[in-house]
Amino acid sequence: MKKIISLALLLVCSFQVTAEDIVVIGNIDNTLNILTKRQVIAIFMGRTRKFSNGIRALPLDEASLRNEFYERLTHRSISQIDAYWARLTFSGSAPLPPVRQDQQSIITEVKKAKGKIAYIKKNQLDESQVKLLFSIESEESK
């Protein structure tokens, strides 16, 4: 019986690691303390270029989380997001957020400028380096 319970707990824990919360982070010196879902969508979809405090928003995409982030944030497929961005960039309305290859390079870049905003897995968050602005909870943690 103990083996069955241990196995069940192991399976639950391993499943939760793969569906972890994604957090939106900003520069620690930005006076902004929190963003709403609507504000995060507006920034990452190129609808606004400034935070509510007037600082220019400079979003970054993280390559391995990009699909999951946009699908969980907007409830649209990544192909719909890519089509949307293709229209925006073609018309010159907004530049596509630069893509970084790993979460550590994201954190390093966000630390460099007040306007930087990006997303990482919650387990990578160190609030002594970057500021937590918004959290997208996994379905399991709701």
List pLDDT tens digits, range 17-76: 456 899 999 999 999 999 999 999 999 999 999 999 999 999 999 999 999 999 999 999
For 88-103, the pLDDT digits (tens) are: 999 988 889 999 999 9
Q: Which domain holds residue 36?
A: 20-141
pLDDT 10s digits, 101-136: 999 999 999 999 999 999 999 999 999 999 999 999
- Distance (Å, whole) CA 67 – CA 85: 14
Domain-located, residue 15: no
Q: What is the DSSP letter of 58?
A: E
The terminus-to-terminus CA distance of the chain in angstroms comes to 29
pLDDT the model gives residue 19: 64
Provide the domain count of the chain: 1
Q: Is residue 7 part of a domain?
A: no
Tell me what pLDDT residue 137 has.
Answer: 82
Helices (H) then strands (E): counts for the chain: 5, 6
CATH number at residue 60: 3.40.190.10
pLDDT for residue 7: 47
pLDDT over 60 (residue 12): no
Which pTM was predicted?
0.83
Residues 6+ apart with CB under 8 A from 107: 25, 120, 124, 126, 129, 130
Task: State the pLDDT at residue 129.
Answer: 96
Residue 69 resides in a domain: yes
The verdict on residue 1 lying in a domain is no
CB count in 10 Å sphere of residue 45: 19
| pLDDT score recorded for residue 60 | 98
Structural domain contains residue 37: yes
